[in-house]
Structure 1
Amino acid sequence: MKAYKRVWGLLLLVFFALIYLIPINARLLWQPDETRYAEISREMLQRGDWVVPHLLGLRYFEKPIAGYWFNNISQMIFGDSNFAVRFGSVFSTFVSALLVFWLANVLWHNRKTAYTATLIYLSFTLVFSIGTYSVLDPMLTLWINAAMVFSYFCLRASGNKQKALSWIALGLACGMGFMTKGFLALALPVIAVIPVVWREKRFKTLFGWGPLAVIVAVLLSLPWVLAIAHREPDYWNYFFWVENIQRFAEQDAQHKAPFWYFIPVLCLGSLPWLGLLPGSLANGWKKRVMRPELFFLLSWVLLPLIFFSIAKGKLPTYILPCFAPLALLMADYLDQLRQAGARRTLKANAIINIIFGSLAVIALVVMSGRLPFGHIRELYGPSEINRMLIGVLCFAVWALAGLLSLTQAKRWYWAAACPLVLSLLVGQALPQRIVDSKLQQQFVTNNIKLLRDSRYVLTGNVGIATSLAWVLKRSDIIMYDGKGELEYGLKYPDAVGRFISAPGFPAWLEKARLEGNVSLVVKTDDLEGNTTGLPPADSVIQSGRTELFFYKKLP
């Protein structure tokens, strides 16, 4: 048994390294998200200010501070690299996986089931996609997962010492979650636990010990809450009303989507284990009375899912906290299938992976432009055959892993290998049009000499602005004819001169060229209607939809 544990532990570590660690430095940073968070932390370290977030030297109050601290520490350790930018997300996902393993052991005292739950969690498409991407959601998910795990202990602890430690730990998790992404981290654990408290009549425990968790969360977050309120009195007004109320509830909320939006996200995100999804949820519901831990896990999956479905604004990343309990439900269901010798569900899961991988291969070939389908827009250019073949390889391996899990039903774990090559090579499979549109880091690097020689650098796109700032290591990028998410920061008096309108650009340029070279980087889409207003440049460099207009210093 010890040898079995060592082998499984080693395999999980190797799997984690292949999926999460090795690929993250090779892929360019995606904009606007990754370059934004990379630049915020770079500027915080440069300024030595760990209290007030700034982006491009402007106040940026869209999120609290703890997620940036993760990224700050990562950049302090690993430097200004793509690996450092993404390591905070990877580390958070790793700790979430440890929590899944720990809770599985507590629930079922079965190390094999715990390993299974961890493997399923780490190989979920949504988990590894977001867990290797620099956003704050993996960090928020870590604290919500921790809060839910400690909530389970809070409801099950017997002695006063155990209860106190559990509620203190819950308060710490909620406090860190609040400082990572705000009030949402406080709401989700409460929403998920209330049905359990109601069903088990634990109100006395909740109201008797709950204040301890609240006090701990307040004490943990209070120093920063007071510090930023002192430094920036408008922070909490903006963050509460704009970033919380408007984003989730109002009619003009960002990223509006229909109520059912998260259903396909949940299904696609649960690949390569989609075949287990219906049975694991149904099994949990059927056995909820006999096995209360399954009701706890169901509540953890479904209540946040319903909450986010009701909200006006929706993004796929929002339901990431639902996948830890889903992995636990699937691991328990899979264990029951193995014990019963039932192979039908496992075969169905394998067939789903074969179909998914095969359809993706067919789609790439059809959209490659190599077949006589004139009405289909080509995804890859004529010279991108290698990229197309790498994409085909990624999904062909997905289908092959599905085939192996079908022909060798006892080797169910082959399903976890489905996304292996995709994770390793997805950066090399992206079409150039996507690189030009969303991965401006390469464009900036290719033209770094001209840009570094420029006294002023302007752009009309916030994503490009953060790419420029990150590569050039300068935060004084000027916004041209568009403010985007920087609109709030540009309202402050000390931001004067950081925005130039299109009509005012010629006059501003004439004066600026007396001081030095000027570079304007734009997307051609952003210049519609304004191209004739741009003064003739000394050099124009174009790559896809991105153009650099270079103006030399006037004598």
Structure 2
Amino acid sequence: MGSTLRGTDVLLLAAVSLAVLLPGTIGVSFVDRDEGWYAQVVREMRASGDWLVPRYLGRAWLGKPPLLYWLVGVSTWLFGFGEWQARLVPVLAAAANTVLVGILGARLFDRRVGLWAGLIFVTFGLVTVTGKLLLADSLVLTWILAAVILQWRMASEGVTHGRAILHGVVVGLGLLAKGPVILIFAGAFALALFVVLKERRRAWLGDWRWWLWGGLALVVAGPWYVHIARHASDTFVSQFLRYELVSRLVGKRHGGGGGFPGFYLLVSLVGLLPWTACVPGAVVRAFRRRREEAVCRLLLWWLAVPWVFLEFLRSNPPNYILPCYVPLAVLLAAELVERFSVGQTWAQLHRPAARAMEFLWWPMLVGGGLIVLAGAVNGRHAWGLAAAVSGAVVVGAFIRAREHAHRRTIQAGCAAVVAAAVATHLAFGAVFLPTLEPLRFSRRVAVAINAAAEPADTVLLCGYKEPTVYVYLDRPVRTVHPEDLVQTLASCDRTKPVVLAVTEAELDRLGPPASDVLALFTTSDRITGVNHVKLQRVTVRVARRNGSPG
């Protein structure tokens, strides 16, 4: 037991990863809200030259530590500022994660399990979607996986200076990527090692090199946290410590999560597609073999501890569960490879296994069929034809996968499922998503403001403040609270042009006072669309007041 991936395995995993992840990152606008926040922080970092204190609209903003911003800053410096340039960092991190999952699976089981674990992991729906977006989750998972692999090597092969030093550095980078998240998931694996590998405890945890170099994590991450505590102490306490950490544990629900135990089980019905139906059987198989196979006990512990912890968080966004999909991918790969090794065919499957395997493709076939229907019904829209074509690709690819499984072997069917997943993401990323650009409301508002404003104009924005609108603006704007709008407009220098973007809902609420002030403005555009974050229909008026001679 325990091996390594070949060079060709690594190349295959990298190629499949990029084929799945890249479509949908190019030519597709940033999505509110997280992508907008992070992209705007990077813009302001580059503009100000201050790479230590993240800022959003000029104020310190500590939604996440700075490592993602630093790497995206380098990417946009090299290739220019844009969607694919910013998303390149999470895409490469997700591709690296695929290889690291393969390495972990190979070391825990064998090379074939590692290869299939990587292929399964990168085709999990949640993994792919998260890897396409400008989020910190894929990046922190890179450091979690690196730490876990090093822990396994130190526990199974012995502690060395190199492994201990690298482990400390990796944990420090994880702290700079997403705060204490790495401590939860890498710590859960360390706990699993402690519980399962009892005979190795003294050799691993008793080695002085482990303790000597463990403090490197603080050396790597500590200086930035100290700097922030000194130079942005109020934001550090109120936003990072109180809001991002404490309130997610014991405060009110926020961040778009379910806020109830069992939420991640529901998320995973979709997040594990197309492999959802096969995962429970792999977990049950591992549970039955836990006494005979230490690796099964190890992975079950690593899966259960953080999963239970996350289920009881007050705020639990769907992407938080991402690291728990690693042991699921490895366990499923181990079960499938056992079937592959005997050349198992469909006729040789037991009835429960056959039923589970059928659901590898039926949810995708039904989903693809519904998308085709939606596209046909909305054929008058530009996106309708693209939806129909993309849905047809999904249906055709998964029908082909089903035929391979029934007529050839289970391995051929699973390989066809991977190919079908690649085809699905190619179709939706390259064909369907670009046709939705006319519906991107934040970008449409920004384009209208850019068209109305001259370089020297004062630009005011009121009532609509989704972060992506700021990313696409060509110039700084002043965000005005609705209650201050009339006073702000009245106080503006009448000799200088002013461009105002305001929601009609705020104008209606303010009534006659706003109408009197706006009488001097000429409406240049009226944009109506859907704020998909709040699921509200919104109309924004963009108006310009020309300066009058002094």
SS across alignment from 1:185: helix
Whether 1:400 and 2:399 are equivalent positions in the alignment is yes
Amino acid at match of 1:509: L
Deviations 1:243-288 (A, max 9, x none): 1001232235543521000002223212122232012212222222
Match of 1:148 in 2: 148
* 148-157 vs 526-535, greater mean Cα deviation: 526-535
Whether 1:165 and 2:150 are equivalent positions in the alignment is no
1:471 Cα deviation from its structure 2 partner: 2.2
Tell me: CA distance 1:368–1:526, structure 2 relative to 1, closer, same or farther (3 Å).
farther
What is the distance in 2 between the residues matched to 1:341 and 1:7? 23
Tell me: CA distance 1:233–1:258, structure 2 relative to 1, closer, same or farther (3 Å).
closer
Match of 1:336 in 2: 338
SS across alignment from 1:458: strand
Amino acid at match of 1:19: V
1:338 Cα deviation from its structure 2 partner: 1.5
SS across alignment from 1:550: strand
Tell me: CA distance 1:388–1:5, structure 2 relative to 1, closer, same or farther (3 Å).
same
What is the distance in 1 between the residues matched to 2:254 and 2:338? 43
Match of 1:493 in 2: none
Tell me: CA distance 1:293–1:518, structure 2 relative to 1, closer, same or farther (3 Å).
farther
Please give the residue correspondences for 1:66-215 in structure 2 after superposition, counting only pairs within 5 Å.
Answer: 66-110=67-111, 112-158=112-158, 162-201=159-198, 204=202, 205-206=204-205, 209=208, 211-215=211-215
What is the distance in 2 between the residues matched to 1:27 and 1:263? 30
SS across alignment from 1:440: helix
What is the distance in 2 between the residues matched to 1:513 and 1:390? 54
1:448 Cα deviation from its structure 2 partner: 2.9
Q: Is contact 1:37–1:85 with CA below 8 Å preserved after alignment?
A: no
Which residue, 275, 285, 288 being the options, matches 1:286? 288
1:29 Cα deviation from its structure 2 partner: 1.2
SS across alignment from 2:542: strand
1:186 Cα deviation from its structure 2 partner: 1.7
Match of 1:551 in 2: 544
What is the distance in 2 between the residues matched to 1:400 and 1:76? 44
What is the distance in 2 between the residues matched to 1:547 and 1:52? 33
Unaligned runs of 5+ in 1: 371-378, 480-499
1:508 Cα deviation from its structure 2 partner: 1.4
Deviations 1:205-234 (A, max 9, x none): 436555335311111112222222232233
* 38-47 vs 514-523, greater mean Cα deviation: 514-523
What is the distance in 2 between the residues matched to 1:90 and 1:435? 21
Amino acid at match of 2:482: A
What is the distance in 2 between the residues matched to 1:83 and 1:144? 25
1:323 Cα deviation from its structure 2 partner: 1.8
Match of 1:355 in 2: 362
1:326 Cα deviation from its structure 2 partner: 1.9
Amino acid at match of 2:165: I
Amino acid at match of 1:352: F
Amino acid at match of 1:298: L
Q: Is contact 2:90–2:131 with CA below 8 Å preserved after alignment?
A: yes
Q: Is contact 2:376–2:384 with CA below 8 Å preserved after alignment?
A: no
1:450 Cα deviation from its structure 2 partner: 1.5
Amino acid at match of 2:432: A
* 78-87 vs 411-420, greater mean Cα deviation: 411-420
* 76-85 vs 313-322, greater mean Cα deviation: 76-85
Which residue, 494, 505, 511 being the options, matches 2:485? 505
Amino acid at match of 2:492: A
Please give the residue correspondences for 1:116-515 in structure 2 after superposition, counting only pairs within 5 Å.
Answer: 116-158=116-158, 162-201=159-198, 204=202, 205-206=204-205, 209=208, 211-238=211-238, 239-255=240-256, 256-342=258-344, 343=346, 344=349, 348=355, 351-364=358-371, 367=374, 370=377, 384-407=383-406, 408-409=408-409, 410-411=411-412, 412-426=414-428, 428-429=431-432, 440-445=442-447, 448-453=450-455, 454-463=457-466, 466-474=467-475, 476-479=476-479, 500-512=480-492, 514=494
SS across alignment from 2:215: helix
Deviations 1:44-99 (A, max 9, x none): 11211111000121210222111211211221222102111101111111221221
The size of the alignment, in residue pairs, is 516
Tell me: CA distance 1:364–1:523, structure 2 relative to 1, closer, same or farther (3 Å).
farther
* 388-397 vs 308-317, greater mean Cα deviation: 388-397
1:8 Cα deviation from its structure 2 partner: 5.3
SS across alignment from 2:546: coil
RMSD over aligned Cα atoms: 3.0
Amino acid at match of 1:188: F
Match of 1:35 in 2: 36
1:429 Cα deviation from its structure 2 partner: 3.0
Please give the residue correspondences for 1:9-20 in structure 2 after superposition, counting only pairs within 5 Å.
Answer: 10-20=11-21
Match of 2:54 in 1: 53
What is the distance in 2 between the residues matched to 1:18 and 1:352? 24
What is the distance in 1 between the residues matched to 2:425 and 2:211? 44
Identity %: 21
1:106 Cα deviation from its structure 2 partner: 2.1
Tell me: CA distance 1:443–1:350, structure 2 relative to 1, closer, same or farther (3 Å).
farther
Q: Is contact 1:248–1:313 with CA below 8 Å preserved after alignment?
A: yes
SS across alignment from 2:483: coil
1:37 Cα deviation from its structure 2 partner: 1.1
Amino acid at match of 1:359: V
Q: Is contact 2:498–2:546 with CA below 8 Å preserved after alignment?
A: yes
Whether 1:519 and 2:499 are equivalent positions in the alignment is yes
Q: Is contact 1:257–1:313 with CA below 8 Å preserved after alignment?
A: yes
SS across alignment from 1:551: strand
TM-score by length of 2: 0.84
Match of 2:534 in 1: none
Match of 1:373 in 2: none
1:10 Cα deviation from its structure 2 partner: 4.9
What is the distance in 2 between the residues matched to 1:298 and 1:43? 43
Unaligned runs of 5+ in 2: 530-537
Tell me: CA distance 1:318–1:505, structure 2 relative to 1, closer, same or farther (3 Å).
same
What is the distance in 2 between the residues matched to 1:523 and 1:402? 49
Tell me: CA distance 1:248–1:424, structure 2 relative to 1, closer, same or farther (3 Å).
farther
Q: Is contact 1:28–1:439 with CA below 8 Å preserved after alignment?
A: no
Q: Is contact 2:463–2:482 with CA below 8 Å preserved after alignment?
A: no
What is the distance in 2 between the residues matched to 1:452 and 1:206? 65
SS across alignment from 1:519: strand
Deviations 1:489-531 (A, max 9, x none): xxxxxxxxxxx23232123113336254433445566777457
Q: Is contact 1:28–1:442 with CA below 8 Å preserved after alignment?
A: no
TM-score by length of 1: 0.84
* 294-303 vs 438-447, greater mean Cα deviation: 438-447
Deviations 1:144-163 (A, max 9, x none): 122222221222133xxx44
SS across alignment from 1:472: coil
Q: Is contact 1:147–1:173 with CA below 8 Å preserved after alignment?
A: yes
Q: Is contact 1:34–1:133 with CA below 8 Å preserved after alignment?
A: yes
